[in-house]
Structure 1
């Protein structure tokens, strides 16, 4: 398993005062990852998607969208110190083989001092992205319309990563933005049996800060927190370019606010944005939302505290 050479970054604005992510992200090799607070890692794979495919094109499109996003957050100031390791070279094979081969490289990335930001790719890769962190007590905050804790029947899918992580020793789990009538009773009961927390999209709409705090309260006692954003957590009007867009989801503003709250937790050790499928997008709405989700997360993450 290896990483492809990262692309060049260049902000598209002609105004020299417009510092954009294209101006600050530096293509790097894994040997230099420790010199950066955060590193981007693309995962062009959608071989395990239950619904509509297209997420293999997500990493390139998310980078393109992020390139033109300005680095300044009014409260936190500019984002700095971001490297790009390029894309994981995904081998041919069944899903289990792909997961194990990707886990080899994610283990090396986690071993550096930089926080990895995985650009998906489908949700099945959450398992190899987070699994190297199971050497310590680990909790996952999952922003998602679905619980993704299906049983593995034959091969893993985009709906099985949290079942796999629980069976491998996951200590805590919170799903934020889950939708009524999008999850089977058996899976809701499974999460309850594991002691997990389900924060519905309605609860987020009632009180964003309280919803984020409920998720973090569920992480009590763990040493490490991994954060996942499946872009189908957003309402279909904001994110049509996903495998399973549905109504009743979060607004972008709600998601961005919660990401800043969670990213400020000094136990955060990994972040991902998954399930963006450019061929299914409309007017690049989902790309814009995904890129800004990354920017908001970075604005609150303190590389010196983890």
Structure 2
């Protein structure tokens, strides 16, 4: 049954191109790549699945009102060479999207390096909603993006939703040198204070990038990820955090990574990812 009063994201999403990005307040682009994933693959199938789920979501947010016009510029033609070459190719392709507000549909967490690199000419920080720190040493992978980005000039990092017993001590100590960790427990105690802590760590940066690794959600809410674990955020907590974070005028872009539809159950993770996109777009439009 259809209702003529229903406006869906599928109604306001126009098909366009990277070259026309500046004509839209926000643009969506897919990154069908999971060649760097450490755990279980499947994220390469996420862009189209998230698009399909988002298309049937209504556009109205009670505080921000309806999300308006935006564009879908399709999927990047990602060459599956080395991980480092893929990251550099992504960076080159997505740079023009920052004439708008880009929403990247990954793909695994290695894509983050390419997505953030075009911002690094300015003082830049990242808020990473993730169960893990992703500061591993070694060859580029889905576990190395923030060490790589620091080497490229990233100024600050705050990881929100990190879990105890999901990282190694050397990586926690590495991040302590230049970043901030806000645990899932801290979010559960006081989500507003948790987000304030993250933004305090980014004080002084000019541009902020928001990254959502879907495994920040509890495994009961997001089974379709590479590394599902218990003790994570609820969808309600995540959506509120993303919406508030996106309202900061320094926020320049957003990504969803590590959603793996082949591993999902009843499209729970895909639908959560789609609504995360909706909440960010509503936050940006405030």
> Into which bin does the TM-score normalised by the smaller protein fall?
over 0.9
Q: 2:206 aligns with which of 213, 223, 226?
A: 223
Task: Please state if 1:145 is matched with 2:131.
Answer: yes
Question: Deviation of residue 14 (structure 1)?
Answer: 2.2
Deviation string, structure 1 residues 266-302 (Cα, Å, up to 9, x no partner): 0011100000000000000001100000101111103
1:135 and 2:118 matched: no
Q: Which runs of 5+ in 1 are unaligned?
A: 1-12
**1:21, 1:136 → 2: CA distance?**
32
Q: TM-score scaled by structure 1? A: 0.92
For the residues of structure 2 that align with 1:31 and 1:179, how far apart are their CA atoms? 40
Out of 173-182 and 32-41, give the one that drifted further. 32-41
Say whether the 8 Å CA contact 2:21–2:96 is kept in structure 1.
no
> Does 2:185 align with 1:199?
no
* SS of residue paired to 2:85: helix
Q: Does residue 87 of the first structure (1) align with residue 75 of the second (2)?
A: yes
What stretches of structure 1 move > 4 A for 4+ residues in a row? none
Q: Structure 2, unaligned stretches of length 5 or more?
A: none
Out of 151, 156, 166, which is 1:167 matched to?
151
**Alignment equivalent of 1:52, drawn from 40, 58, 74:** 40
Q: Distance in 1 between matches of 2:20 and 2:85?
A: 28
Counterparts of 2:165 and 2:129 in 1: how far apart (Å)?
17
Query: Relative to structure 2, which stretch is displaced further, 75-84 or 236-245?
Result: 75-84
Secondary structure of 1:135's counterpart equals coil
Asked if 1 retains the 8 angstrom alpha-carbon contact of 2:64 and 2:285, the reply is no
Check if 1:181 corresponds to 2:169: no
Kindly report the root-mean-square deviation, in angstroms, between the aligned alpha carbons of the 2 structures: 1.0
Q: Normalised by the size of structure 2, how large is the TM-score?
A: 0.98
Aligned residues: 286
Q: Which residue of 2 aligns with 1:260?
A: 243
Question: Quick one: which of 128, 136, 140 aligns to 1:156?
Answer: 140
Cα distance in 2 between the residues matched to 1:183 and 1:31: 40
CA contact 2:39–2:227 (8 Å) conserved in 1: yes
1:106 maps onto 2:89 in alignment:
no
Cα distance in 2 between the residues matched to 1:275 and 1:131 = 19
| Residue aligning to 1:6 | none
